[in-house]
A and B are shown apart, each in its own frame.
Chain A
């Protein structure tokens, strides 16, 4: 079964609003990564947060990690129509040798 599970599965917001996506996982991790996928394209790495980190920022992205709850969230602030894509979380286990992905959150930002 998939290690990471995102919710919601789909999210529709207006341009300028914030978008929050959540990811839950089951086993211990070394790090958690968020990726973005535009329709029909490959995945693009957004941000990596290590198991000993609680929060990370990158531009309009803010990621949190709660290892006690085995969950992470991705916040996109001041969303733009160009942010429309699917967003996936991926976990790397403590052996550091695998990426497992959840089913993704499909974000639509309406202009």
Chain B
């Protein structure tokens, strides 16, 4: 049973390009969380999704950022027209239940905007 898989592990984008970060949850998990982490800081909640539904996106910027978790396939965090300030590690976690159980984290995608 593979763990949470995120890809790519490292992503370099030029300012103005689009970044697509993928997260495949653990088998049987239908809840996905996305977090952003700056160096030496904690994780900041971005968005919580269940299959085909966004449950809470209160931590996600209104512009340029979007997330989806389709019925088939991985969850996608999409950042349009990236800026240098978007450089960070983005972590995905999945759980089987509504957060009342432990969450399993992926290894993260490190986005660098040049």
Contacts and interface: CB of A to CB of B under 8 A. Distances in A.
B56 interface: yes
- Of B33, B101, B102, B105, chain A has the most CB atoms within 10 Å of the CB of B102
A101 B35 contact: yes
Interface in A27-44: 30-31, 33, 35, 41-44
Interface string A24-61: 00000011010100000111110010000000000000
B105 A95 contact: no
A76 to B, nearest CB: 18
Contacts of B102: 33, 45, 48
Contact of A43 (B43, B56, B97, B98): B43
A44 B106 CA distance: 9
A101 B56 contact: no
Nearest to B106: A42
B30 interface: no
Contact of A92 (B35, B55, B100): B100
Given A42-B4, A93-B99, 17 more contacts: A2-B42, A2-B44, A42-B91, A43-B43, A45-B103, A48-B102, A96-B97, A96-B98, A96-B100, A97-B99, A98-B33, A98-B48, A99-B33, A101-B42, A101-B43, A101-B45, A104-B41
Interface of B: 4, 33, 35, 40-45, 48, 55-56, 91, 93, 97-108
> Considering the complex of A and B, which 4 residue pairs feature the smallest CB-CB distances, nearest first?
A96-B98, A103-B42, A42-B105, A45-B102
